[in-house]
Amino acid sequence: MASFPSSKEDARAAFAEAEAELKKCTYAIKERPQDIENYIRRSNAHLTLANFSECLTDSNQALSIDAHNVAALTNKGIALFELNKLDSAMETLNIAKEKIEDIKEDELLSHWHEKCSVAIEKRQAKLPFSPPQRKTTIKYDWYQTDANIVITILIKKLPADYFKHTVTDHTLAMELKIPGEGEIWKQHLHLAHEIDSAKTQVKILSTKVEIKLYKVEGIRWNALETGSELDKLKTFSVEPATSTIGSAKWDKLAVEVTEEEKKENLEGDAALQKLFRDIYSGGSEETRRAMNKSFQQSGGTVLSTNWGDIGKKDVDVKPPDGMEFKKWD
């Protein structure tokens, strides 16, 4: 193993000896490429000459021949330390330490193991204070058309492989990995009515995840889940550490999501539903009452914003052209 020169004269002599050893070992390796001692001797020479990357290469080559060789492990640990890879160095030196009964019997290994431990402790002491990780809140909402149930999960720029779902004709299980945190949000829904699970569609957009379910019966759902009485927003939280998230932060995210949704080019039912939601959210109380009454009384075939007209009468069902409305007993 590499030694420690005690004076300038000793250092010059050690360097000259290391250079000669380097040439000798290189020639020997060409002749006997599977001789582990030649790689260890050359790695010692590289350490003396401060060729730490070359020392690491030779140490790894020696370990490919014998993964339990303490000399090769020690030289690898020293090279990693000098290359400022402290965690890898300590891991390697710990492996070498486990191979001998008493680390004090190996002066070089004992010296570098202690030196690496001290360096890691000093590094930890210099790390800046990290505030507690904030609580992450995931929200989802849903709306419906005559044919579909559409569930939207508000989350921005989610990688496609971070979302998984499992669907049957009566259930929907969702699993989402939160970017940058590694925490997993899960939700399992027991749907209020039967769906055609084979037609389920999932879109991952820049501001949300959209899951489109297809109804088996074209009836209006009063709730998304079995046993739920209110048609309302669901909120579930993932708490990776301590602390809480302020409402101001969520409000800011909601504003950003709204702005980005305006830029999305929606098509078909999604575009129509967004138009209805915009009218409803931006309308007066009378406008909302008119929309609710006309939609409910007409079975979803009429949608009016004129309360002055709708408020005075019942709204009849108006089926599409070519279709006939029938009441079922």
- State the CB neighbour count (10 A cutoff) for residue 324: 5
The one-digit pLDDT tens for each residue of the chain (329 residues) are 445 545 567 777 878 888 999 899 999 999 999 999 999 999 999 988 899 999 999 999 999 999 999 999 999 999 999 999 999 999 999 999 888 877 677 888 889 999 999 999 888 887 665 556 666 678 889 999 999 999 999 988 889 899 999 999 999 999 998 887 778 899 999 999 999 999 999 999 988 999 999 999 989 999 999 875 444 444 444 444 333 444 455 566 666 666 666 655 666 666 667 777 777 777 788 887 888 887 777 776 777 888 888 788 887 777 666 556 555 54
What the block records as the tokens of 300 is 């979803």
Nearest-10 Cα torsion for 236, 288, 275, 220: 70
In this predicted structure, what is the pLDDT of residue 129?
A: 59
In this predicted structure, what is the pLDDT of residue 230?
A: 44
CATH of 136-264 among 2.170.16.10, 2.60.40.10, 3.10.310.10, 2.60.40.790: 2.60.40.790
Tell me how far apart the alpha carbons of residues 229 and 242 are, in angstroms, rounded to a whole number: 33
CATH of 8-126 among 3.40.718.10, 1.25.40.10, 3.90.1150.10, 3.40.50.1110: 1.25.40.10
In this predicted structure, what is the pLDDT of residue 268?
A: 62
- Domain-by-domain residue ranges, the chain? 8-126, 136-264, 283-329
Give the type of residue at 162: Y
Residues in the chain, total: 329
In this predicted structure, what is the pLDDT of residue 52?
A: 92
- Please state, in angstroms and as integers, the Cα–Cα distance from residue 299 to each residue in 68, 151, 275, 293, 321, following that order: 77, 21, 19, 10, 16
Residue whose C-alpha is closest to residue 39's, from 14, 20, 12, 21: 21
Tell me how far apart the alpha carbons of residues 172 and 163 are, in angstroms, rounded to a whole number: 13
In this predicted structure, what is the pLDDT of residue 305?
A: 82
- Please state, in angstroms and as integers, the Cα–Cα distance from residue 293 to each residue in 276, 279, 281, 327, following that order: 14, 15, 16, 19
Q: Is the entire prediction scored with pTM above 0.75?
A: no
In this predicted structure, what is the pLDDT of residue 205?
A: 92
What the block records as the tokens of 81 is 């330390």
